[in-house]
Structures are given as structure tokens and as C-alpha cells.
Structure 1
Amino acid sequence: MMWKNKSLLFIFLFIAEISFAQLNTYNYSREIKGVSETWHSIELPDEVFGKVSNDLNDFRIYGITEKDTIEVPYLLKIASEKQTEKNIAFKLLNSSKKENTYFFTFEISSEKTINEIQLNFKQENFNWLVNLEGSQDNSEWFSIVEDYRILSIKNEQTDYQFTNVKFPPAKYKYLRFQIKAAEKPELLTAQTSLSNFDLPNYKTYSVENFSVSEDKNLKKTILDINFSEGLPLSLISLKIKESVDYYRPVTIKYLADSIKTEKGWRCNYTTLETSVLSSLENNDLYFYSTITKKLRIEIENFDNRPLKIEGVTAKGYEHTLIARFTEPAIYYLVYGNPRANKPNYDISKFTENIPPNISAVNLSEEKIIDKNELPKRSPLFENKLWLWLIMGVIIALLGWFTIKMMKKS
């Protein structure tokens, strides 16, 4: 019975040590509450992103049972935009002019719903107002959009076009453009389409503070945006108060690292994306999802006065783990290991077998994983008394065998 208890104790200690060794390579853990089915989703809280690698490779889910420690396979799902576009065939019927207005009439081969027309002109620099009308019989016309501005700028500093006319879904057999211009617009191509843009589930994050400064030598506006912790950002919306048209190239950067010098901290920024702020479009700046505590946006003013920036809104995609649980256990989400590689699970090859509607589970409060080693078991011969005792037994046995052999001889 005593040997059985010792064996069970040894097995328990062995399992505990293996479990500790697996968890001990990570810095943080959260217990997963409410596991009751095979598939569950886990929404990652904002607080974890500042403690993981930028590539998000160091998430693991471990389950601890009475006999073993198991690793749970998961998929990381990041919500993102989905855009579909279906081109609709149509042809140019005629073009005409009346005073300073040029007309272009198109026929759609079949009555299809459209919501966008892409125009391509030979001119490289223009700023025109467009009216778009629709008709079923090429006689009675109905207004679709009025005074829609299209623009093209091309020079040594800028190469920008805004020539896509967007409008609510419409279904007409004939379309007619009216373009007010001092010179004849030389239309090269036109393409109609039905575009569908599904916005992702964005999370809006609080901006701790932002500051605006001007670099007069470089003719730039510097916008620094700070957050209280590292967050997965992918969209910055600017509130700009301007009553005049503007077009400004921008560069979006994030804080990669900082070095402390004798003159203070020196920040090193890495470019994320380049974009444009234009009075013709909304002031949303999209970029690749990046975990950071600080963004910098540099706005090229050229010889124009700086834009008045009144507010900043920051957003990022929702991040969710889809996990498969196969047996009862106490489950933990662990993270915070910059050396961890991206896991390779079989479920990534069979995503079509994941149920469409799965229930979510909750995470407990974060705990820091203790890095202290498990208590060491004392070696058998750490006490010198054991060594002397065993040596005495060995000497006695050798003496006994020697005397016995001498008697036989």
C-alpha cells in the first residue's frame, strides 16, 4: 500500500512538473471559464495586446487534467473588410456638347443594378463637376447625383485621381453624364460595377492624448497620437475643420522602439502606410493592423496653410480565438513569450468543419506566471551520514566475504 501511494505521489509530481515547465515559458495566464462544448470562441481583451509579440504567435491554450497536460488547438480570427465587385457591361452611345457642358450617354446591355462608375480620361490635370442621370427609354431622365466632383492631379510631387462616381444602387437601361468643363473631356474608358463593401467589426479605442506641431522647414504638420497601452490599430479617423478644398499626402508611422540618451528619449518610427487627406473623401486613414502605443502622422502641406485638426478617433479589428476542446480539464490561456513560434494545428486545414455558430467563453483576470522553479527534491546522498553508513555496510560485506573465503581455503 505504501509503494502504491509513493507511486501515485511520484506520478502527480511528474505531471505537475511538466505542466509547470510548459506554462513557465509564458509570462501571463487567464483561466478559461464556461467550457461546456467542443467548439468555443474567445474574444481577446484589449489588455493582452501590449504583452504579446506583434505577430501574435505567442498565444497558447493548455488544459490540466489529473493525468496529463494537453494543448488545445485554435485559430486566430481577425475581422477585416470584405469587398466584392461585379462588373456590368455597357457601351457608349453618343457624346455631345451644349455650351460648356459635355454629355456622354451609355447603354447598359441588360437592366442591372449598379452603384459605381469608374471614369478614365486622357487629361492628367482637371477639376470638374459631374451630373449623372438615368433613363429607361433614353427620353425621360431622372437625376442620380448632382455636382459630383472628379479630380486628377499629376506633377512632380503628386499623382492623385478621384474619378470613381459612387451613388446609391440604381437600375436604368441608359445613363448620361453631364460634365461642366472649359475643355472637352477626352474619355478613354468607363466601367460600371456593383460594389459591395462589408465593414468589419471594429473596436473603438480611447486616445490618451494627441498633439499637433508644425515643421516649418519641411512644411509638414506632425500629429502624434498616444495610447495608454499597446493596441492593435488599423484605422485612424481625423476630424478636420476646413471650409476650403484640400489635398495633402500623409505618411503614417508607428513607434518601433525608443532609446534613452543624455538629451532624453529618442524615438524611432517605422512607416506603416502612405495615404491622402482630401476634401473630396472622408478623412479615414487605413493601414495594416499593428500593435503600438504611439502613432505619428506626417501631413505634407507644401505651400498651403496647415489643416485644423480638432479630433482623432482610433479603431482596430476584433481578435477572436476559435478553439476546440476535447476533454474535461482546467483550461488556461497563456501568452507573453517573444520566442514562441507560430503554432501549426490540423484545424487550420479543415476550417470548413468548424460550426458556424459557436458559443463564447469568458476569461478570468490576468495572473502573472511565477517564474520561480519548483522546490528541488533533496538528493539521496546530500546528507554525509548516508554516505558513511553505506560505506560501512560495503566494508562489512567485503570483510564478511573475505573471512568466508579464507575459511574455505
Structure 2
Amino acid sequence: MKMVLSAFVVALSIAALGYEAGIPYFARLRNLTVSAPDRQNYVVVDPDIWKFSRNDLADLRIYDRQSQVPYALIKQSGGSSNQETTAKILNLGSVGGHTEFDLDVGGLQEYERVRLEIDAKNFINGTQVQGRRNSNDRSGSNLGSSTLYDFTAEGLGSNFVLKFPTSSFPYLHVRLSPGILPSQIKHAFVSSFSETKAAWSAAGECKPSTGGPKETLFECSRFDGVPLERLAFDVPANTINFNRTVVISEKQGNEMGRGSIRRVQLNRAGQSVVSEDLTLELYGRPGNSVKVAIQNGDDKPLPIEHVRALSFERRIYLDPDGKTSLQLYYGDAELGSPAYDYAKFFQPSPNAGVAQFGLPEANPQFTGRPDERPWSERHQGVLWAAMVAAVALLGALAVRGMKGSSASK
């Protein structure tokens, strides 16, 4: 009993402390050539690393001979922030058939978007925006024009957002084209919008397949270990004015999600609208393959050239400290994430060099980790035999005691 208890305590201690990295414990090796030894470099995680590493890439280690080189693993997901503030509508009315009004935005230091709530459908409207210092100014700085639209009848979506250069005027003056009444302007929201672009890498391959009579079907197989996070649809530029539902399902047929792809190019009353969205985001971790069905309804199928399976690019950033050649090791399923100060205080450099991987290869020093399981787990047969023998011995002693008791009576 004491031996089993001691082994259990040792196992808990190992789990708490985690496993140490060691070159012989990594199954794979990549030589890493640094392009700019005097500054920050990065290298992009590729399919071989995804295939042989942990799903979370926690077991990556960079070495300079026998010493670890700190790094930061960064997901190039980009992102955007859009903080909206309600703007007070002033002086709402009609001038010469045009709906006009002012917006009090004095609470924001900078902004570049206005979203309107308009009680109208099936319209297109050119809108002009001026920046003004006072609400009673008769003119102001021209901030440009935007096109508001709603194509509910055609099923092509809507846009109620005015976009213009970053501004700091305390008031905005908005003038709409004829067609929208003052009573249809319900609310206005001003926002400061910022965005960083994402970087993508291939996550698999998509090929056409045979679908139903009113759908176009593709089957996408992902590379081993690579997360599938986006689907991008390549449609010829001359194919316009469509909005199709896309259903994504697992190979067994279970639906994972759905969305839509669209492209709008319309001209009405001298005003044009150009808008498109040909990508779908995926969430969760699908199996090795998914089915992508574009629902055509009663329209002819879209001439889709390609469907691209994509994953956010993962970059390994490091400071080579003058070194031109390093080694990346991976493929140790027991190893957890490293804890580097470099990663905690990391700031990407705008002029980081792009390092290069050599060909993937097996680690010639690989031995694998020693079996660190408790003695009781590694020798379960012996443990069970000992327990059976102990039970048998206790049974024999009990029977013997009972016989001795009967004889004395």
C-alpha cells in the first residue's frame, strides 16, 4: 500500500511540474536559416509542423546547439474594433426635396463612420457628409459621399453606413438624395473603426463533386493537423448580382454551419453600388474533410473557379542575436508550452526579416521519452497477481482460524 501511495504522489508531482524539453525527445527537426541576423525574424508554420506537433503547437522549441532560443508564436488573425456612440440628431428636415440633418458628435475625439437607422426598404441613395465646427454653420469641410442602399426585393443585402476620412469635427452635416423622408431617419451612431489585415495559408484542397439538382458541391480535405478556419470562393469578375446560401457539413452529413456569398454591382438613377463578400469563416475543428454546398435555387449555377481552404497564418518570431543558423525541434506530445519573457513582452517589428526552413526530417538524436508512469501502471500484471495472492492468503488464514476455533470448542 505504501508503495502504491508513493507512486501516486510521484505521478502527481510530475504532472504538476510538467515535462522538461530535451532534444532526444523531439521526433522532427528543421534547420532554420536566418535572413537578417541583426534584427527580429519570423518564419511561418507549415503543414509538416502541423502534422507532427501538438494541436496547440506547444511543443515547438528553437535551439542554438544545446541552448533554447526564446520565441513568440503569433496567430495572424488580424482584427477590427468598432466602438459605436449614439449621436444626437439635430435640425432634421427637408431642403429642396433633400433630407438634411446635423449630428452632435462632440463626445468623440476621432471617428470615421456613421451608421444610420432608416425605416425604408428597396432604395439606393447617394449621401454627402460635411464636417462643421458649429451646429448653425452654413457650410463646412467636404468629407466625401457614400451610397446607402437596401435591395430586399432582390435579396442582395443593404448598407446603412457612411464612411469618410478620420475626422474630429464636433458636428457633422448629412444631406441625402431625394427619396428618403425625414420621418424615416430614426437613429444615428458614430464610430471609430480600426482594422489590421489577417494573413492566410493553405489548409487543404477543395475539389468539385456531384451535388443535388439545385446545388453546386465541393469536397474539401484538410491537411493533417492544419485547422480549417476560412473558405474563399473565386468567382469570375464578370459574374455579378448574386447572393447564394452556402451550407457546410461534415462528411457524414451533419451541418456545421451556413452563410452566404454575394457580389452586387448596380446602377440606378445615376448612382452605383459595388459590394462583395466571397468568404466564409469556420469555427470549431472539423474532421479531415467537409462538404461545401452552394444553394442555387432556381438560378443557374455560379461559375465558381476555385474554393480555397484557408487557415490563419501562424508565425514564429525570434531575435537571432547575430546567429544565421538555428534548429527547430517538434513532435513531443508530452511537452507543454514554454514560458519566455520574450513572448510576454513581444512587439512585432514592421521590418522583421523572413527566415527560411530547410526540408523536414526525422531527428537523428530521437530516443523518445522514458516511461515515467508510476510503477503500478507499468507493472499492472504483477500488481494484480500480488493482490490475488494476498486475497488468497487472507482467505486461507480466515479458514484456518475458523477451523481452530471449532476444534477448541
TM-score bracket relative to the smaller structure: 0.5 to 0.7
Matched residue SS, 1:58:
coil
Instruction: Give the residue type in structure 1 aligned to 2:71.
Output: Y
Structure 2 distance, partners of 1:353, 1:121, is 43
The alpha-carbon deviation at position 232 of structure 1 amounts to 5.2
Q: Give a deviation string over 1:302-353, Cα, whole Å, max 9, x none.
A: 555443323345554332223477999995312234x335314142773158
Task: Return closer, same or farther for 1:36/1:215 CA change in 2, 3 Å cut-off.
Answer: same
Structure 2 distance, partners of 1:204, 1:329, is 26
Structure 1 residue 238 corresponds to structure 2 residue 237? no
Q: Give a deviation string over 1:217-264, Cα, whole Å, max 9, x none.
A: xx54322345777655544332335756333332445x7xxxxxxxxx
2:6 counterpart residue number: none
2:267 counterpart residue number: none
Structure 2 distance, partners of 1:351, 1:232, is 27
Task: Return closer, same or farther for 1:361/1:128 CA change in 2, 3 Å cut-off.
Answer: same
Instruction: Give the residue type in structure 1 aligned to 2:260.
Output: V
Matched residue SS, 2:177:
strand
2:74 counterpart residue number: 77
Instruction: Give the residue type in structure 1 aligned to 2:186.
Output: L
Paired residues of 1:113 and 1:169 also in contact (CA < 8 A): no
The alpha-carbon deviation at position 289 of structure 1 amounts to 9.2
Matched residue SS, 1:49:
helix
Task: Return closer, same or farther for 1:229/1:372 CA change in 2, 3 Å cut-off.
Answer: closer
Matched residue SS, 2:122:
strand
2:376 counterpart residue number: none
Q: Give a deviation string over 1:170-209, Cα, whole Å, max 9, x none.
A: 757311233636x987443221223222213x24549755
The alpha-carbon deviation at position 274 of structure 1 amounts to 3.6
Paired residues of 1:75 and 1:347 also in contact (CA < 8 A): no
> For the pair shown, which has the larger CA radius of gyration, 1 or 2?
1
Match of residue 163, structure 2, among 163, 167, 170 = 167
2:176 counterpart residue number: 177
Paired residues of 1:230 and 1:291 also in contact (CA < 8 A): no
1:55 counterpart residue number: 56
Structure 2 distance, partners of 1:328, 1:225, is 41
Paired residues of 1:237 and 1:312 also in contact (CA < 8 A): yes
Structure 1 residue 107 corresponds to structure 2 residue 103? yes
Instruction: Give the residue type in structure 2 aligned to 1:48.
Output: I
Aligned residues: 325
2:32 counterpart residue number: 32
Matched residue SS, 1:340:
coil
Structure 2 distance, partners of 1:112, 1:144, is 20
Q: Give a deviation string over 1:244-301, Cα, whole Å, max 9, x none.
A: 6333332445x7xxxxxxxxxxx45776654322334321223459798755323344
The alpha-carbon deviation at position 132 of structure 1 amounts to 0.7
2:337 counterpart residue number: 343
Paired residues of 1:38 and 1:325 also in contact (CA < 8 A): yes
The alpha-carbon deviation at position 133 of structure 1 amounts to 1.2
Instruction: Give the residue type in structure 2 aligned to 1:52.
Output: S
Structure 1 residues not aligned, in runs of 5+? 1-20, 256-266, 375-409
Match of residue 363, structure 1, among 341, 351, 357 = 357
Q: Which moved more, 1:274-283 or 1:355-364?
A: 355-364
The alpha-carbon deviation at position 41 of structure 1 amounts to 3.7
Matched residue SS, 1:281:
strand
Structure 2 distance, partners of 1:185, 1:93, is 13
Instruction: Give the residue type in structure 2 aligned to 1:149.
Output: Y
Instruction: Give the residue type in structure 1 aligned to 2:115.
Output: Q
Task: Return closer, same or farther for 1:108/1:26 CA change in 2, 3 Å cut-off.
Answer: same
Paired residues of 1:57 and 1:340 also in contact (CA < 8 A): no
Return the TM-score normalized by structure 2: 0.60
Q: Percent identity?
A: 16
1:317-336 to 2 correspondences below 5 Å: 317-323=312-318, 331-336=326-331
The alpha-carbon deviation at position 27 of structure 1 amounts to 2.8
Structure 1 residue 277 corresponds to structure 2 residue 261? yes
Task: Return closer, same or farther for 1:229/1:343 CA change in 2, 3 Å cut-off.
Answer: closer
Return the TM-score normalized by structure 1: 0.60
Structure 1 distance, partners of 2:319, 2:147, is 55
Instruction: Give the residue type in structure 2 aligned to 1:81.
Output: G
1:172-321 to 2 correspondences below 5 Å: 173-178=172-177, 180=179, 186-200=184-198, 202-203=199-200, 205=202, 210-211=207-208, 213-216=210-213, 219-225=214-220, 231=226, 233-240=228-235, 245-252=241-248, 267-268=251-252, 274-279=258-263, 280-287=275-282, 294-302=289-297, 304-313=299-308, 315-321=310-316
Structure 1 residue 120 corresponds to structure 2 residue 117? yes
Structure 2 distance, partners of 1:91, 1:85, is 19
